């Protein structure tokens, strides 16, 4: 964004409630839920709950989303301060077909900002910056991995797929498929950046479901990624990391506007009977 496009004053974005929803906030949701016209109840108005509610509403279902805080968005919150856009949680998301569809449904195409997919990212190890490889060729030439580590990486298609249906930590999954050096030097720094979390504690299924799916369906993450890449090359979806002119919070705010009859804020769900 160029300097003349920056907003002239700070903007603290509010979701379109609670005032719009005052009629809901005084209702008893237990009564509402037993009413035959309610088909779903979603607990939590983070992006997961909002998207689920949006999908349910699109399919003609009626229901409620209960959020314990005063506004939705969960960890995704953005605001302008001193002409700087502050992101309190995530700042970008990888664009895919499902997300593009959602953006079109919410009419947000003109607000999209896409990072150049060729922009380098760096990992700092022992006071040295290494650029993260962005392609298989880059992986072959990177100094981040030794020759032995690279061989282990490219052996991945020959590692038998796990037969277990149960989940595992992201660290276990990556070291099982690609070896521990790939985990420590490529994946962990990346995961810290995205999830602000520890790969030893994060679930592989919850953080990178696509990689687990590739292993299950193609027997290998690399094989799955190659076949996805072929489909992507033919797709109209632009590549790269996505945000919006007013930050990632644009997405939950737009969902909140389209769902305002469904959302009930300041409702801390304590149990389901
Ligand atoms: C600091 C940080 C940076 C990140 N950076 C990125 C990034 O750059 N790119 C990326 O793709 N991902 C990133 N992530 C991950 C991504 O943002 C999250 O995975 C995603 O936003 C989680 O959404 P969610 O709806 O599952 O949970 P949350 O956003 O946590 O939302 C859960 C909601 O449920 C509500 N709630 C909880 N308990 C109750 C209850 N009992 N009753 C009612 N409501 C309740 C909470 O108030 C909250 O609003 C980041 C995460 C963090 C924390």
Q: Is 203 in the pocket of ligand 1 (CB under 6 A)?
A: no
For residues 71 and 77, give the distance between their C-alpha atoms in angstroms, rounded to a whole number: 10
Burial of 173 (0-12, 13-18, 19+ CB in 10 A): buried
Over residues 51-66, the pLDDT tens digits come to 999 999 999 998 999 9
203 and 252 both lie in a single domain: no
CA of 131 to the centre of ligand 1 (A): 29
Cβ neighbours of residue 5 under 8 Å, at least 6 residues apart? 245
Residue 165 covered by a domain: yes
In a domain, 254, yes or no: yes
User: How confident is the prediction for the chain on average, in pLDDT?
Assistant: 85
Q: Bigger pLDDT: 108 or 119?
A: 108
The residue ranking higher by pLDDT, 118 or 80, is 80
- What CATH number did the domain enclosing 197 receive? 1.10.3110.10
Taking the C-alpha atoms of residue 172 and residue 151, their distance in angstroms, rounded to an integer, is 19
Decide whether any atom of ligand 1 lies within 6 Å of the 206 Cβ. no
How do residues 187-233 score in pLDDT, each as one tens digit? 998 888 787 788 999 999 999 999 999 999 999 999 999 988 877 76
Identify whether 237 is part of a domain.
no
CB contact at 8 A, 215 and 224: yes
Q: Who contacts 37 (Cβ-Cβ below 8 Å, separation ≥6)? A: 62
| CATH assignment at residue 35 | 3.50.50.60
Compute the distance from residue 127 Cα to the ligand 1 centre, in Å.
Answer: 32
Q: For 124-168, what is each residue's pLDDT tens digit?
A: 888 999 998 988 889 999 999 999 999 999 999 999 999 888 899
What helix, strand, coil percent values describe the chain, rounded to 5? 45, 15, 40
Tell whether ligand 1 has an atom less than 6 A from the beta carbon of residue 165: no
Query: 46 and 22 share a domain?
Result: yes
Atom of ligand 1 nearest to the CA of 207: 19
Going by C-beta distance under 8 Å and a sequence separation of 6 or more, which residues neighbour residue 34? none
Q: Which residue's entry shows tokens 């609670």? A: 18
Percent of the chain with pLDDT over 70: 85
The answer to whether 71 touches 65, Cβ cutoff 8 Å, is no
φ, ψ at 114 (rounded to 5°): -115, 130
Domain count, the chain: 2
pLDDT of residue 174: 97
Query: Is the pTM for the entire model greater than 0.85?
Result: no
Which domain, by its residues, includes 180?
Answer: 122-232
Ligand 1, atom 7: closest residue by C-alpha: 90
Residue 241 and residue 87 in contact, taking contact as beta carbons nearer than 8 Å: no
Compute the average pLDDT of residues 2-20: 59
């Amino acid at each position: 964004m160029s300097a003349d496009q920056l907003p002239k004053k700070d903007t603290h974005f509010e979701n379109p409630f609670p005032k719009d929803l005052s009629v809901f906030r005084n209702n008893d949701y237990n009564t509402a839920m037993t009413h035959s016209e309610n088909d779903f109840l979603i607990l939590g108005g983070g992006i997961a709950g909002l998207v689920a509610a949006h999908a349910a509403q699109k399919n003609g279902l009626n229901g409620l989303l209960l959020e314990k805080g005063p506004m939705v968005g969960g960890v995704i919150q953005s605001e302008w301060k001193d002409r700087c856009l502050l992101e309190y949680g995530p700042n970008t998301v990888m664009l895919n077909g499902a997300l593009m569809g959602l953006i079109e449904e919410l009419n947000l195409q003109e607000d999209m900002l896409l990072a150049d997919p060729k922009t380098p990212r760096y990992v700092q190890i022992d006071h040295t910056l290494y650029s993260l490889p962005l392609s298989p060729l880059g992986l072959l030439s990177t100094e981040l991995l030794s020759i032995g580590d690279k061989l282990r990486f490219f052996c991945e298609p020959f590692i038998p797929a796990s037969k277990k249906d149960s989940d595992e930590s992201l660290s276990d999954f990556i070291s099982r498929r690609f070896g521990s050096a790939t985990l420590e030097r490529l994946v962990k720094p990346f995961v810290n950046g995205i999830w602000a979390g520890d790969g030893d504690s994060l679930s592989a299924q919850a953080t990178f479901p696509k990689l687990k799916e590739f292993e299950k369906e193609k027997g290998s993450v690399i094989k799955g990624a190659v076949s996805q890449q072929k489909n992507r090359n033919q797709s109209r979806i632009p590549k790269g990391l996505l945000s919006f002119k007013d930050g990632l919070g644009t997405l939950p705010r737009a969902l909140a506007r389209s769902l305002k009859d469904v959302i009930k804020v300041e409702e801390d769900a304590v149990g389901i009977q």
